[in-house]
């Protein structure tokens, strides 16, 4: 018999537990991050167009055009990265182009983080590439004051290895992110979504290794 519409005494105890699905959560979190990160550049494009509509001074109109171009480039760079890192796996082939991965990472580095690329292969398996991208964005996030992000990856004998090294002043390694990478934080949140995805793409708990010491953050993954 269904429980009454009023009162909770007859409701099954399972109904009182939080109803949450990690897959639904991760999709919602990535959607929220995309909207959050695009809001600023898209808003700046709108502001630039409004200023141009009321501006007759050639110098000011030229500055507005620069603002629109910069904001358009920022929005495009974020979309390209999110498409590769978080997009539906079925929309790509089995291999992903490494120069395209590098361009995507450079696009979200904000110009403050120098990218040292140590990937000699022309392509990487899709799963390895997605782990690389998600570890890379964690490295960028850990360098709010800039620094150097060194990225290395190789595949041999059906095994892929990825190493990301972040070094810079005021390194900001979020402990919730590190826990998600280690597989000890089972629930995705707005802070650890990329780490949560990277850990699950890499494999069982322990597939991603984390080390932090003396202003250096090392993230590594071995994918069988």
Give per-residue pLDDT as tens, 2-13: 433 334 444 444
Starting at the edge strand found earlier in the chain, the sheet holding 159-167 runs: 113-118, 147-156, 159-167, 216-223, 208-213
Give per-residue pLDDT as tens, 119-160: 999 999 999 999 999 999 999 999 999 999 999 999 999 899
- CB contact at 8 A, 71 and 48: yes
Phi, psi angles (nearest 5°) of residue 155: -130, 135
- CB contact at 8 A, 116 and 150: yes
Strands 208-213 and 147-156: unpaired
Residues 6+ apart with CB under 8 A from 166: 139, 140, 142, 143, 147, 148, 149, 216, 217, 219
What would the two tokens of residue 33 be? 């991050």
Strands 123-125 and 113-118: unpaired
DSSP 29-78: HHHHHHHHHHHHHHHHHHHHHHHHHH---HHHHHHHHHHHHHHHHHHHHH
pLDDT in tens, the chain (224 residues): 343 333 444 444 444 434 467 778 888 888 888 888 889 999 999 999 998 888 888 899 899 999 999 999 999 999 999 999 988 744 457 899 999 999 999 999 988 899 999 999 999 999 999 999 999 999 999 999 999 999 999 999 989 999 999 999 989 988 888 888 988 776 788 788 889 989 999 988 889 999 998 889 999 999 98
């Amino acid at each position: 018999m269904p429980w009454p519409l009023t009162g909770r005494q007859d409701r099954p105890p399972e109904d009182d537990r939080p109803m949450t699905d990690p897959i639904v959560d991760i999709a919602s979190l990535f959607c929220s991050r995309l909207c959050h990160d695009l809001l600023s550049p898209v808003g700046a494009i709108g502001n630039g167009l409004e200023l141009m509509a009321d501006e007759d001074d050639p110098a000011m109109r030229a500055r507005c055009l620069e603002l629109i171009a910069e904001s358009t480039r920022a929005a495009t760079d974020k979309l390209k990265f999110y498409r590769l890192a978080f997009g539906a796996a079925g929309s790509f082939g089995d291999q992903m182009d490494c120069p395209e991965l590098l361009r995507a990472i450079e696009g979200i580095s904000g110009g403050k983080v120098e990218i040292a690329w140590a990937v000699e292969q022309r392509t990487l398996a899709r799963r390895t590439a997605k782990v690389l991208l998600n570890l890379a964005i964690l490295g960028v996030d850990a360098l709010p004051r800039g620094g150097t992000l060194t990225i290395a990856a190789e595949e041999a004998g059906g095994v892929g290895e990825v190493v990301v090294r972040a070094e810079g002043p005021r390194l900001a390694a979020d402990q919730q992110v590190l826990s998600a990478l280690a597989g000890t934080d089972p629930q995705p949140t707005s802070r650890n979504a990329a780490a949560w995805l990277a850990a699950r793409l890499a494999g069982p708990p322990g597939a991603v290794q984390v080390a932090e010491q003396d202003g250096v953050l090392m993230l590594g993954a071995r994918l069988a």
